[in-house]
């Protein structure tokens, strides 16, 4: 429920290069087995470069937010990874 700043560097590069963009989602299936999936994202084409960069950055942030909300256990795993607290295999 709070507004958050979103990095726009990747969106800027994609808009300027007119490069294809994908949301990447890594899902942990079990220890040592993961699934990586990609979802294509449409590039905004308003003709206003700055507005397109901001729109793409917002679309990417919303896509990841949707994934995290739908899969909170996966997000927790990503946070453990980031913090260096790997769960040990049993």
pLDDT digits (tens, 9 = 90+) for 25-48: 888 888 889 999 999 999 999 999
Picking from 39, 45, 37, the residue whose alpha carbon sits closest to that of residue 18 is: 45
Confidence of residue 16 (pLDDT cuts 50, 70, 90): very high
pLDDT digits (tens, 9 = 90+) for 48-88: 999 999 999 999 989 988 988 888 777 665 454 555 554 55
pTM beyond cutoff 0.85: no
Beta pairing partners, 27: 35
Residue 18, token pair as written in the block: 């007119």
What per-residue confidence (pLDDT) applies to 1?
61
Residue 79, token pair as written in the block: 């946070």
Mean pLDDT of the chain: 83
Sign of CA dihedral 64, 69, 74, 79: positive
């Amino acid at each position: 429920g709070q507004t958050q700043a979103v990095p726009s560097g990747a969106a800027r590069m994609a808009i300027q290069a007119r490069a294809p963009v994908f949301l990447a989602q890594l899902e942990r299936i079990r220890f040592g087995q993961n699934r990586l999936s990609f979802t294509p994202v449409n590039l905004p084409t308003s003709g206003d470069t700055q507005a397109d960069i901001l729109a793409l950055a917002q679309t990417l942030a919303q896509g990841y937010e949707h994934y995290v909300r739908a899969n909170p256990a996966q997000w927790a795993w990503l946070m453990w990874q980031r913090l260096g607290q790997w769960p040990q295999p049993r």
